[in-house]
Structure 1
Amino acid sequence: MAANRGPWAEAALGDVRPYAITGGRTRTKYALHLTTLLSTRPATRPGEFGIEAEQVRLRCSGAALSIAEIAALLHQPVQVIKVLVGDLLDAGALDVAAPRSIAAHNDTDLLEAVLVGLHNKL
């Protein structure tokens, strides 16, 4: 039998409502996008954050993940994840990972390969 979590819990799902997770906050000072990649900083001590923030931190410990991926994996709204990520960035627990440079690849070769593939499909 599930314990009664109070009025902030969804009766049917047993999940905590998003505003309870973020303390009612809906914004962060960081410009975070769905594709912003995050990774855990090595000096972070486990367990020093709330459960949801700790889940975000742990998900980013293996490889850099985007905001969208974290939200999907944790079944939370993107805005909740952005607030939690902002808190973790403030605490120095996460780093914004440098995106892979598109310029590092030869764009002409890639575009030609895509064009050839499209012509072959037609």
Structure 2
Amino acid sequence: MNGGGWADSSLGDVRPYTITEGRTRSLHALRLTSCLITRPAAPGTAHPSPEAEALLLFCSGAPRSIAELAALSHQPVQVIKVLIGDLLDCDALARANPEGAGADPDIQVLEALLHGLRTRL
């Protein structure tokens, strides 16, 4: 019987709650736009799952947002947030745009940008 779903893929996908060990939320405040990048690995640091290893590969070399990582991983955003929380806890990932640092753009900068764009058109 083939009912479709997470466990029926020929790629060997598993159900999301299996990947997160039943956890549904990360202990970290993560937004869809939160960007992450890999940190140098400490010797002997092991990662719990192939999905976590894939996230580290996606984040190596350039920052990636949570939304991007979910799309690349073909996993729900909440699953990615839980896995990223684990990787932040073991210092395998770092935030590329710490919350609060430039989170809200300056209105004057946006107005100047808009003015500049209008004058070029």
TM-score (norm: length of structure 2): 0.76
1:112 aligns with 115
Cα distance per residue 1:25-67 (max 9 Å; x no partner): 0011110000001011113459821100011111111101000
DSSP 3-state at the match of 1:10:
helix
2:8 pairs, out of 11, 22, 26, with 11
1:37 aligns with 35
Q: How many residues align?
A: 110
Instruction: Pick the structure with greater CA Rg.
Output: 1
Q: Percent identity?
A: 52
Moved over 2 A (4+): 11-14, 43-47, 98-103, 105-109, 113-117
How far apart, CA to CA, are the structure 1 residues paired with 2:65 and 2:76?
A: 14
1:108: how far off?
3.7
Structure 2 unaligned spans of 5+: 1-5
2:46 pairs, out of 40, 45, 48, with 48
Change in 2 beyond 3 A, CA 1:12/1:81: closer
Alpha-carbon RMSD: 2.7
1:4 aligns with none
Within a 5 Å distance, the mapping from 1:42-81 to structure 2 comes to 42-44=40-42, 48-49=46-47, 50-81=49-80
How far apart, CA to CA, are the structure 1 residues paired with 2:92 and 2:42?
A: 5
Change in 2 beyond 3 A, CA 1:44/1:57: farther
Amino acid at match of 1:26: T
1:22 aligns with 20
How far apart, CA to CA, are the structure 2 residues paired with 1:62 and 1:12?
A: 30
How far apart, CA to CA, are the structure 1 residues paired with 2:69 and 2:61?
A: 12
How far apart, CA to CA, are the structure 2 residues paired with 1:53 and 1:96?
A: 16
Change in 2 beyond 3 A, CA 1:109/1:115: same
Are the equivalent residues in 2 in contact too, given 1:53–1:84 (CA < 8 A)?
yes
